[in-house]
Structure formats: C-alpha cells, structure tokens
C-alpha cells in the first residue's frame, strides 16, 4: 500500500528562507541543494536552475548590495508563499524586461537606491523547489530608478 504524501510545511518554509539567505550571501552554488535541476521560473520565463542562477548573477552585478527580507511567510500543501522587501543600489549595468513594451532594456548604473517589494510562491516536491512565481511592481522599480516619470496627474500617488 503506497504511503500518502506528507506535506512538510515547516521544512518547506526553511527552504524558502534558505533561498533568500543564499541570495543575500551571494552563495548561488548552494541553490543546488534547494532547487530541482529542472526548476521552472514562471515570472522570468526561465527553464532550469542554471538559467535561473544566470539571471540572479546578472541581478547581483547590477545591484551588488541587494538584500532581501521575508516579511511574511505561509505554507499550505506543497506551496510556500512569502512577501518580501529588498533594498539595493544600482551600481552596475542592468538588463531587464520593460513592462508593456515587451522589450528588454539595458540601463547603465544610476547610483539610485531602490526598495523593491513583492510576493513569491514556490511549489515544492521532496524538499526541493520545482516551480516559482513572483509578483512585483516593475513600474515602481523603474520609477525608483528614474527610468519612468509618473504623469502630472499621478505625481501625488507615488
């Protein structure tokens, strides 16, 4: 008789916290312990842990002081959800997706400090992350970087 699948809620939260810790410590090699090799990042459209690690390397070159904090975390079934806030200074070239244009852009260092925030969801199997989703406000990030300016009517909203 097969054993029923047991969800490891607290263990799954520990894995999510270890991802943030690895990012903050720039220890991307440790991601092998936390992610499945065929990890799928739905937010950035990446297939495979190595592609995700390359993305993080580019991010950390553009924002070398990136520091992320988990503000809330919950686990249910095979998923972990957390709300994060980060602080970072844009001191290196940044390549990223620009909202609504469907195009990638390259930004030279602006020296600006940013405070991105958002939500991450991970689906776990046997203690490893197999899928990830993120919700973050790219318009807010690009406004903080000075790439976009709010329209006159919206100035008071930012």
Using alpha carbons, select from 102, 72, 67, 105 the residue that is nearest to residue 88. 67
Delimit the domains of the chain by residue range.
9-147
Paired residues of 68 in beta bridges: 86
Contacts of 40 (CB under 8 A, 6+ apart): 46, 47, 130, 131, 132
CA dist., res. 130 & res. 102, Å (int): 26
What are the start-end ranges of the E strands in the chain? 35-41, 46-47, 67-76, 79-89, 94-98, 103-107, 113-114, 117-125, 128-136
3-state DSSP assignment of residue 27: coil
pLDDT digits (tens, 9 = 90+) for 8-30: 899 999 999 999 999 999 999 99
pLDDT digits (tens, 9 = 90+) for 20-61: 999 999 999 999 999 999 999 998 889 999 999 999 999 999
Tell me what the pLDDT averaged over the chain comes to: 89
Token look-up 């904090």 returns 69
Torsion, CA 84, CA 85, CA 89, CA 94, rounded to 10: 40
63-69 average pLDDT score: 97
Tally of residues, the chain: 158
Cα 113 to chain centroid, rounded:
17
* pLDDT-based confidence at residue 104 (cuts at 50, 70, 90): confident
Task: State phi, psi for 39 to the nearest 5 degrees.
Answer: -50, 140
CATH 3.40.605.10 for domain 9-147, yes or no, is no
Name the pTM for this structure.
0.86
Token look-up 């842990």 returns 49
Q: Is the pLDDT of residue 158 over 60?
A: no
Q: Is the pLDDT of residue 97 over 80?
A: no
Q: Which 8-state DSSP code applies to residue 156?
A: G
Beta pairing class for 35-41 and 103-107: unpaired
């Amino acid at each position: 008789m097969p054993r029923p699948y047991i969800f490891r809620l607290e263990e799954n939260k520990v894995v999510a916290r270890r991802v943030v810790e690895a990012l903050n410590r720039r220890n991307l090699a440790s991601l092998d312990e936390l992610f499945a090799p065929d990890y799928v990042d739905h937010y950035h459209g990446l297939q495979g842990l190595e592609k995700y690690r390359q993305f993080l390397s580019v991010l950390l070159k553009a924002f070398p002081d990136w520091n992320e904090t988990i503000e809330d975390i919950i686990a249910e079934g095979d998923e972990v959800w957390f709300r994060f806030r980060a602080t970072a200074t844009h001191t290196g070239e940044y390549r990223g997706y620009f909202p609504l244009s469907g195009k990638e852009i390259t930004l030279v260092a602006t020296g600006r400090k940013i405070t991105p925030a958002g939500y991450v969801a991970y689906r776990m199997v046997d203690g490893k992350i197999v899928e990830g989703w993120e919700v973050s406000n790219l318009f807010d990030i690009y406004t903080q970087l000075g790439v976009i300016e709010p329209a006159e009517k919206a100035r008071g909203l930012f």
